[in-house]
Amino acid sequence: MKIGMIGLGKMGGNMVARLLQGGQDVVAYDLSEDNIKLAEGRGAEGARTTEELIAKLLAPRAVWVMVPSGAATESTVMDLADKMQPGDIIIDGGNSNYKDSQRRAKTLAERGINFVDVGTSGGVWGLKEGYAMMVGGEEAAVKSLTPILEVLAPAKDQGWGRMGPAGSGHYVKMVHNGIEYGMMQAYAEGFELMHAKIDMQLDMAQIAELWRHGSVIRSWLLDLTADALTGDPEFSDLSDYVADSGEGRWTVVDALNEGIPAPIITLSVQMRLRSQQKSSYAGKMLSAMRRAFGGHAVKKVEAEAEESIVPEAHTPEAARPQNIPASGAKMDGDAARQLGESGQMPVNPNPEDTENKGAGNQSEGQA
């Protein structure tokens, strides 16, 4: 099958490589000429404009969009819709809000264009291991994409499936990421508790490796943690800043809307938000109140901690914490995008409000 791919970054570029390895034909487009040339070097057919990409595909066409969600996805999808024909398929494989996907599907259906949303998980390991894909959209459209999905998945009959109508793929991926937040937080808290038990001199790397075999809490996240602990188990050079890419917040908002208790996911999101603050205004106020009513001793800031950014990694080996370079780069306008964060920017309470598409998640499809 021949498919167009727009967005050749950390996820999109590796997906192109896996498709080519699986015998599929790909027409690749990106804003970066270097990324296009890299895809061409792997065997893809490059395109320098969306018009050229569409012209190189046979009807009915299928174009996979793998760009940052929010405004970038909106503009890309609508640009394609203006140039494609009835019967064509536009696929959003990023981490879009499911309500945006439902709206886009409705808008494109009025033009006779199919919209398929694919919640994609796999990160930098997807090229080697395959991607888990939660697919939403009309049955016929999804079925026509089977050759592509079978190649991208870990196996033809594993790791992918149609969840339901448009929006359901991104909804299930949203909850997936919320669960991921909770699991990561639980591991981190448990290891911090053991790390603090100084009198026992516990070996974090040994414990992680032991738990990987036979334990009821073994998982791929634990495998990665065990590997990370073989380097510097103190993570001395890492900041405790933890980015959030939006889906965790959306999961909490949806749980509130549905009246479903989700305390673990909610608190894991709150912990990330706290980590993103250089200092807490609430904490300072608490300190001031204790000083005022009890005359208690307080700490005073003498100098702000300095942080740098280490650019995103595109391969499993480069992503290993042991391979983080000794010094990072200065924070610039691209830093927030590379961190995949929404930072202190509020999540759009109404994703269907097209005047505020950029709020919330700005990340490409990720784990």
Spatial distance between the Cα atoms of 58 and 3, rounded to a whole number of angstroms = 9
Spatial distance between the Cα atoms of 71 and 78, rounded to a whole number of angstroms = 11
**What single DSSP character describes residue 354?**
G
Spatial distance between the Cα atoms of 52 and 65, rounded to a whole number of angstroms = 15
Strand 132-136 versus strand 114-121 pairing type: antiparallel
Neighbouring C-alpha atoms within 13 Å toward the C-beta of 104:
35
Neighbouring C-alpha atoms within 13 Å toward the C-beta of 68:
21
Spatial distance between the Cα atoms of 302 and 178, rounded to a whole number of angstroms = 37
**Residue given tokens 């980590």 in the structure block:** 275
Coil, helix or strand for 158? strand
Active-site annotation holder among 10, 74, 99, 180: 180
Surface-to-core class of residue 356, CB atoms within 10 Å of its CB (0-12 exposed, 13-18 middle, 19+ buried): middle
Q: Work out the end-to-end distance of the chain between its first and last CA atoms, rounded to an integer number of angstroms.
A: 26
* Type of residue numbered 136: G
Buried-exposed string 84-104: b where 16+ CB fall within 10 A, e elsewhere: beeebbbbbbbbbbbbbbbbb
**What single DSSP character describes residue 110?**
T
Active-site annotation holder among 173, 341, 357, 364: 173
Do 52 and 61 meet the contact criterion of CB atoms below 8 Å apart? no
Does residue 173 have an active-site annotation?
Answer: yes
Q: How far is CA 328 from the centre of its chain?
A: 22
Positions of E strands within the chain: 2-6, 25-29, 45-46, 62-65, 89-92, 114-121, 132-136, 160-164
Does residue 2 have an active-site annotation?
Answer: no
191 token code pair: 């290891």
Looking at the annotation, which residues are catalytic?
Answer: 173, 180
